[in-house]
Amino acid sequence: MSRSQFSRLALCAAALGALAISAVAIAPSLAAEDAVVIPAPAMDAKAADGIQTVVVAGGCFWGVQGVFQHTAGIVNAVSGYAGGSKATASYETVSTGTTGHAESVEIKYDPKKISYGKILQIFFSVAHDPTQLNRQGPDSGTQYRSAIFTTSDEQQKVTDAYIAQLNAAKVYRKPIVTKVGPLQGFFPAEAYHQDYLTLHPSQPYIAYNDIPKVENLKKLFADNYQDKPTLVSSAKVTN
């Protein structure tokens, strides 16, 4: 089911009461595809000084943001839009699939606490399925494509090398379709989209599709997992 379908389901659930609670309780065991165990990048970026930025897109930004908000070393993860112009960077317009945007997450990270390569490994392993073209799980359209918008030549080189490494290792059943290119602009999404996973953990779409991603992060990347998420509403970014 898509987010719009789950929204309608949520309204029905409110009326069904106990039935809805039961459905949400079993949701994590029914949903989200299993994470893929993948090797770390053979090439990684150097640990630069100061906070670094990369923007990633992997389907609905609620789940991707939630994963990285639970990742240690991430100082802020903001849901938004990349790949199109500022003039059309609104949820209703982007949802038409005609603006060129992808639902994205701007990740600001401390390279002394987490490397760029580790962010890529988490992104390709638990945050989304990089082999799905112009869709992710129940959502379809170019706005749900897999993409990485880099902010340096080094990020571009490391990303390209890692994708080649994973394709050569055949860790997925199909080739990676993630598009990689320089960031032209990032536009934060509306306030109600921020911190969505944390604020609405029992919302059916989140329970089915996104909570399992955070559980996989905790399971596969225990050293990088933090139980308390770094929320947009409380993040402190100095640069």
Which positions are catalytic?
60
Distance CA 19, CA 168 (A): 47
- List the alpha helices (DSSP H) in 49-127: 61-69, 91-94, 116-122
Q: Which two tokens stand for residue 99?
A: 């603006």
Report yes or no: 147 and 178 within 8 Å, Cβ to Cβ: yes
Distance CA 177, CA 144 (A): 12
DSSP secondary structure code for residue 216 in this structure:
H
Distance CA 221, CA 207 (A): 20
Report yes or no: 156 and 179 within 8 Å, Cβ to Cβ: no
- Between the alpha carbon of residue 199 and those of residues 64, 193, 220, 234, the distances in Å are 15, 10, 24, 13
For 136, the 3-state DSSP assignment is: strand
